[in-house]
Amino acid sequence: MKYRKLSIYGLIALLSFTACKNQNKQETHDSDEEVASQENEVSKISIVALTDSPAYKDAKLKLTVPVDNQFSENTLDFQFEVENYELGAQTTKNSITSSLANSGKGQHIHFIVDNKPYSAHYNSDFSKEFTEGTHHIVAFLSRSYHESVKNENSYVAKTIKVGESTAAQTNVDFNKPTLIYSRPKGEYSGEDTKNLMLDFFLLNTTLSENGNYVKATINGNVFEIKKWQPYIIKGLPKGEVNIRLQLLDSEGNPIDGEYNDVKRSVKLK
């Protein structure tokens, strides 16, 4: 009788051990599947060149006010002249650009101060508030779906000083090769999360197969961009998206410049 009780207890222990082992095996399997799923999610990220937008080769942007570079007041008025381009109009779209985030207010100016995310302006006259010190401004024309107009007359780059302090946010020389980050920006939701535009502006340089290029790192995925044009990012997971753009020479070395290595994060909901 004593022997039978021990056998029953042993059988229970054996069954319990087997169940735990199977459970641990299942948990490990589930964990492996989760990791594999995450890896597959990352590997789906790709970029595709966007080539069919209206060119606007003759579009021009010119800053008429302010003329000076030194100011005592913190609030500055800006006035631009725009030629061969209509602010507030909707850019003609195709099947691809129709899938991109689009401003209902139409075409506009991207206004960038000290390499921070741009503010969009749909009129050629507006005011901006500045802190005391030296500031670097870049403005360029943008289509309604936020693609920059890229030609030698479509932008303005200017350095100003506000107040008595000469302290600069960054040390920038607009006469040297300079990378200006533009898109993606902010938060995206719904259908806008499927295709994100990757766009930037270049000063004093070109990109080529054997010359300078832009290295784009998107959630750990690396892409070498050797032609200056917009791209569509596909396959992004929901949540935070981390983007880094670097302007490199033909040998893969960083090109000196405060704006030539920039990191941004956007959210997909």
Give me the pLDDT at residue 132, please: 93
Pairwise CA distance, residues 152 & 57, whole Å: 9
Domains held by the chain: number: 1
The region of weakest confidence among 25-34, 56-65, 128-137, 209-218 is 25-34
Taking only the tens place, the pLDDT of each residue in 164-205 is: 876 666 679 999 999 999 999 999 999 999 999 999 999 999
Mean pLDDT of 96-104: 96
Give a yes or no: residue 3 inside a domain. Answer: no
Say which CATH number the domain at 190 has. Answer: 2.60.40.10
Give a yes or no: residue 28 inside a domain. Answer: no
Give me the pLDDT at residue 159, please: 95
Give a yes or no: residue 59 inside a domain. Answer: yes
Terminal Cα distance for the chain, rounded: 66
Closest CA relative to residue 139, chosen from 112, 172, 173: 112
State the chain's mean pLDDT as an integer. Answer: 88
Single-letter amino acid code for the residue at 213: Y
For residue 131, the enclosing domain spans 49-268
Give me the pLDDT at residue 167, please: 65
Single-letter amino acid code for the residue at 146: H
Structure tokens at 12: 């229970």
pLDDT at 28 over 70: no
DSSP structure class, residue 29 = H
pLDDT at 85 over 80: yes
The region of weakest confidence among 75-89, 93-107, 163-177 is 163-177
Give me the pLDDT at residue 243, please: 98
pLDDT at 33 over 50: no
Give me the pLDDT at residue 170, please: 66
Mean pLDDT of 63-74: 96
Give me the pLDDT at residue 21, please: 47
CB contact at 8 A, 100 and 232: yes
- Residue 107 vs residue 43, higher pLDDT: 107
Taking only the tens place, the pLDDT of each residue in 108-119 is: 999 999 999 999
- Indicate the length of the chain as a whole number: 269
Mean pLDDT of 90-106: 96
Give a yes or no: residue 260 inside a domain. Answer: yes
- CA triple 109-56-185, angle to 5 deg: 40
- Residue 203 vs residue 32, higher pLDDT: 203
Q: Which residue has the tokens 């003329």?
A: 67
CB contact at 8 A, 196 and 267: no
For the chain, what is the radius of gyration of the CA atoms? 27
